Structure 1
């Protein structure tokens, strides 16, 4: 996969800058008390520009770059690697690829998703999209159709295990090393059972 061009990199940088300002405001003054106008002002953009990057206020918390990062890791995995190891490495390597600042922001976003009912519901809606998205490169590897049910079910089981690991991580304060251990343990349960 080729790296994004300058224009796309600028758009990505703007997107994540908006998100960074939004999360900071949500933490400082509460999700419901923060307006899109306040986020736009903090990010030095117009409200209409906000909506070019995020359709809703919920999306600014829910959306991230991690699905793309993990999908690329799935595509790059060695051809002889079994599916569970492909998914495990994609999750672990993807998690290790994020910076400490991104890790802190991911923790804040996770806490918001746990504490704000509208975000919890939106996160659940987004979860199925993520599962379908990540199942596509796995299906490609296995020579199956992009919408293969078995690949979606397998990725869904792995994502479900990882969600439990990340919830435990968020509830325990967000130590990055603990997150990797929890993800590994959760995927081990998928492989071997409880």
Structure 2
């Protein structure tokens, strides 16, 4: 299976990514030790060796530390690399396959994904914030799907398709979490896409 193409990044952007990753990793360690609610932002900053203002520059809220990742540009690049004549859902499913295959080769990234989903499932504030943050991923998909189909970004059909995909992915991740985080995640995502493509038909 081919790996997902990675968008080119300059030195400054790579430094920003490393800082975000350091903050997230420090936060996850503390959340594991103390719990989400008991962990303060200044403690996360100290563990990541940055200032509290730096934490807030990258993550407006503590919940955003859990919900933010670097995957949107990777998924966008993988989607744009798909053949132009593929239907949007087919292209998006194939792009996710490539991205998930690459992620699963990185044990630390898989561990972080499982930690994130356990927190989403157990902390109401994160769950509430998740629905607000989905809009950022929606913007990425809006642009890529509009480009593939030749439609305007604000087109109603594009908005409906994007919303349906994001809703399906969210529910797939929550189902995966509720089932213990051990099922094949790509199989769960494939099931979600089959529902989008064919409804509840067997």
Taking structure 2 as the reference length, what is the TM-score of the superposition?
Answer: 0.89
Give the whole-Å Cα distance in 2 for the aligned partners of 1:2 and 1:189.
30
Deviation at 1:92, TM superposition (A): 2.1
1:21 aligns with 2:26: yes
| 8 Å Cα contact 1:25/1:34 also seen in 2 | yes
> In the alignment, what sits opposite 1:40?
45
Unaligned runs of 5+ in 2: 1-5
Deviation at 1:188, TM superposition (A): 0.7
Give the whole-Å Cα distance in 2 for the aligned partners of 1:2 and 1:96.
17
Give the whole-Å Cα distance in 1 for the aligned partners of 2:67 and 2:7.
26
Stretch deviating more after TM superposition (181-190 or 97-106): 97-106
Give the whole-Å Cα distance in 2 for the aligned partners of 1:28 and 1:159.
32
1:58 aligns with 2:60: no
Of 10, 15, 28, which aligns to 1:10?
15
Unaligned runs of 5+ in 1: none
Residue-pair matches, total: 193
Of 173, 176, 186, which aligns to 1:166?
173
Of 176, 181, 191, which aligns to 2:187?
181
The CA RMSD over aligned residues, in Å, is 1.6
Residue 158 to residue 5, structure 1, CA distance change in 2 (3 Å): same
Give the whole-Å Cα distance in 1 for the aligned partners of 2:56 and 2:171.
31
Give the whole-Å Cα distance in 2 for the aligned partners of 1:8 and 1:129.
18
Residue 17 to residue 84, structure 1, CA distance change in 2 (3 Å): same
> In the alignment, what sits opposite 2:142?
135
| 8 Å Cα contact 1:92/1:183 also seen in 2 | no
1:154 aligns with 2:155: no
Taking structure 1 as the reference length, what is the TM-score of the superposition?
Answer: 0.93
Give the whole-Å Cα distance in 2 for the aligned partners of 1:148 and 1:71.
19
